[in-house]
Chains A and B, each alone.
Chain A
Amino acid sequence: MADVFRVLAQIGTTITVLLVLAALLIWAERRLLGLWQDRLGPNRVGPFGILQSVADMIKIFFKEDWVPPFAEKPVFIFAPCVVVITMLMALAVVPFTPTLAIVDLNVGLLFFLAMSALAAYSTILAGWSSNNKYSLLGGMRSAAQMISYDVFMGLSLMGVVMLAGSFNLREIVLAQQGLWYIVPQFLGFLVFLVAGLAESHRLPFDLPEAEHEIIAGFHTEYSGMKFGLFFVGEYLGVLLIAAITVILFLGGWQGPWLPPFVWFVLKTALLVAFIILLRAALPRPRFDQLMSIGWKLMLPLALLNLMITGAVALAGGL
C-alpha cells in the first residue's frame, strides 16, 4: 500500500516538475531566441521575466474556451490531450538518475518509440476534427512526416541497442560507462536528433503548423487551454527528445564530481539549448525537401549505421 502511495507521489511530483519545466522552457526559449536575435526577450514579469509563462498561463486559462460550431466536438477536445498524455507517458520510462525513474521497463526504448509515434494522432485528429482546410493540410503533413521519420528513428537506435544489448534505458546508460555512444554511434546520433526534431515538429521541421503557408496548420482553430495543451505537449516533446538523446548517446547521468542528477539536467539543458539554437538559425525546408531528406538521406544513413554496427559487432564478437 505504501508502495502505491510512494509511486503515486513520485508520479505526481514528476508530472508537476515536468510541467513546470515545460513552462519554464517556453520562457527560456524566448529569452534565448532574443539573445541570438539581438533582442531582450520577455523581461518584465518577475526577475528576468521568469514568470512570463505564469502570466501567459493565467491569460490562456481565462480565455474563452471556444469550440468552432463546424468542428467535430469530441475529437476536437480529445486531440490536444493525446499529445500531453503520450509525452508524459514516454517520460515515465526516462531514468533521470540510477534510482530516479517512474518505471524501469525492460522494453523502455520500445515504449518510448511507441508513445512518440502515438503522439502523431494528436495532430492528425486535431487537423481532421477542425473541419478547416488548412488544419486538415497540417494534419496530413504531420501524418506523412511522422510515418517517414518514425522509420529511421527506430532504425537509428538499433545500433545503440546492439551495443548495449538491451532495450532497458537504465541498462543502456550503464553500458556507456567507458565510452558515450555518441562516439561509436555518431551517425545514429545525428539521424536520431533529426528524426526527434521532426517527430516533435520543432523548427526547422514544423511543417504541420507552418504559419506562413497554412496559417498554423492543425491548431488553427484552437484557442485557450486546448491550444495551451498543444504548446505544453510540444515543449514536453523537446524535453523528451533531449532527455532520450542524453540517455542513449551522451551517457545519461554519468559524469565526474557532480551528482548524477545534476549531470543529467546539465546535459539535457545544453541539448535543449542546441535545439533552440536550431530554431533561431535554420529556415524551414519545403515539404518535398523534407520528404527527400527523410527517405533519400536519413534512411540510407540509418541503414548504413545499422550495417556497420552489425558488422563490427559480428566481427568484434561483442
Chain B
Amino acid sequence: MLSQLRTIWEVFKHSTVKPDTVSYPEEKPYLAPRYRGRIVLTRDPDGEERCVACNLCAAVCPVDCIALQQTQDERGRWRAEFFRINFSRCILCGLCEEACPTYAIQLTPDVELCEYDRQNLVYEKEHLLISGTGKYHDYNFYRRAGKDVGVKERGTGETEAEPVNVRSLLP
C-alpha cells in the first residue's frame, strides 16, 4: 500500500521535469550513428558490393520484407541479381543487420521514410546501394572467406595456408 502511495508521489514529482520529447519536425532529435532507420547496402573497402546474396537477412526478417536473388559472375563472386526491401512492411528491427555475415546490410539514422504512395516505399538494389563502407570500414568478407573469387589468390587469405600440393605424399 505504501509503495503505491510512493509511486503516486514519484510520478507526481515528474510535473516539474522537462519533457524528453522534442517538437519534431521543427526541432530534430539527435540520432546516434547506430540508430535503426533506413536500410542501406554498403560496399567493401575495395569499392565492390559487399552483399553476397546469402539470403540470411531475408530468412531472419520477421515481416518477410526482403527478397533477393543470387547471381554469380565469371569469377564465382556471388552478388544479388535483385535486392528488394519493401519498406512499407519493414519494422526497422535491425535483425537483418545482425544476421549479415559481410556487414553489407546496415541500418542508418535516417528515419524520414514517408511517401504518399506505398509503391514508392519499395526499394530496389540501386536505391539501397551506397558507395561507402557504412559503419564498418575495413572488413572485406572475401579476404577471410576460403572461396577464391578474384579478390585474393588462393591460400593468401587472412588465416590461410599455401595451397596443398596434392601430388605429394610427404608428411
Contact = CB atoms under 8 A, between A and B. Distances in A.
A277 B12 contact: yes
Contact of A38 (B8, B10, B17): B17
A34 B18 CA distance: 11
Contacts of A59: none
A280 interface: yes
B127 to A, nearest CB: 32
B21 A40 contact: yes
A16 interface: no
B8 A35 contact: no
Interface in A254-297: 277-278, 280-282
A277 B7 CA distance: 10
A173 B19 CA distance: 40
Nearest to B13: A36
B11 A280 contact: yes
Given A277-B11, A277-B12, A280-B11, A38 B20 contact: yes
Contact of B20 (A36, A39, A277): A39
A37 interface: yes
A35 B8 CA distance: 14
Nearest to B8: A281
A38 B20 CA distance: 6
A281 B17 CA distance: 16
A281 B7 contact: yes
A282 to B, nearest CB: 6
Contacts of B4: 281-282
Contacts of B20: 38-39
A36 B21 contact: no
B23 A278 contact: no
B7 A36 contact: no
B14 A38 contact: yes
B165 interface: no
B14 A36 contact: yes
B159 interface: no
Nearest to B15: A35
A115 B18 CA distance: 42
B15 A36 contact: yes
Q: Give the residue among A36, A40, A280, A281 with the most B Cβ atoms within 10 A.
A: A281
Nearest to B23: A40
Contact of B11 (A34, A36, A39, A43): A36
A282 B21 contact: no
Interface in B1-49: 4, 7-8, 10-12, 14-15, 17-21, 23
Contacts of A43: 23
A39 B21 contact: yes
Contact of B12 (A34, A36, A38, A282): A36
B165 to A, nearest CB: 67
Given A37-B14, A38-B20, A277-B11, 17 more contacts: A35-B14, A35-B15, A36-B14, A38-B14, A38-B17, A38-B18, A38-B19, A39-B19, A39-B20, A39-B21, A40-B19, A277-B12, A280-B11, A281-B4, A281-B7, A281-B11, A282-B7
24 contacts: A35-B14, A35-B15, A35-B19, A36-B11, A36-B12, A36-B14, A36-B15, A37-B14, A38-B14, A38-B18, A38-B20, A38-B21, A39-B20, A39-B21, A40-B23, A43-B23, A277-B8, A281-B4, A281-B8, A281-B10, A281-B12, A282-B4, A282-B7, A282-B8
Interface of A: 34-40, 43, 277-278, 280-282
Interface of B: 4, 7-8, 10-12, 14-15, 17-21, 23
List of 6 A-B pairs having minimum Cβ-Cβ separation, nearest first: A281-B11, A281-B8, A38-B20, A36-B14, A281-B7, A39-B21
